[in-house]
Amino acid sequence: MLGTLAKWLRFLGYDTAYPGPLDDTALLEQAKKEGRVLLTRDRQLAGRTSGGLGIRSDQLEEQLEEVRRAFGITAQDALSRCSVCNAEITRLPPEEAKGKVPDAVLARHTEFWRCPDCERVYWKGSHFEALERQIAAWTKDGALP
């Protein structure tokens, strides 16, 4: 399973689908229909698709490096997508964040973003700062290590 990799590719700004359980044929058809690159740990499945990538490692940092080497991913659009549903997040005026975030968060922050699909609200709190630090640790000049 590559759910953590999918989430981190979203954090890095990549349109990353992570479908529910599908048989191999349905998965290949969905990837082709949506014009997606298939990332999989299943070597047989990886061999059945052109342009896909068989991920060898079970360690996130190594998985990201495999994807970077294969496709040249960067962190140029980092933190621009919802980590839950993959939609591009949009700015949310602070007055519209009222009732959607805890009052203490509203009192401390002035910048908010919202997912237009799942309505999740984001702000630059400690979790955001931790994500930025992790992305910075992985990047050099906008490219992953």
Model pLDDT for residues 76-107, shown as the tens digit of each residue: 999 999 999 999 999 999 999 999 999 999 99
Rounded CA separation 97/141 (Å): 33
Determine the angle formed by the axes of helices 3-11 and 60-71, rounding to 10 degrees. 60
| pLDDT score, position 141 | 56
Q: How confident is the model at residue 138 (pLDDT cuts 50, 70, 90)?
A: confident
The DSSP call for residue 22 is -
Residue extents of the structural domains in the chain: 3-71
Rounded CA separation 92/12 (Å): 20
For residue 143, pLDDT over 70 is answered with no
pLDDT in tens, 10-64: 999 999 999 988 999 999 999 999 999 999 999 999 888 888 899 999 999 999 9
- CB-based burial, 62-92: b 16+ in 10 Å, e otherwise: ebbbbbbeeeebbbeebbebbbeebbebeeb
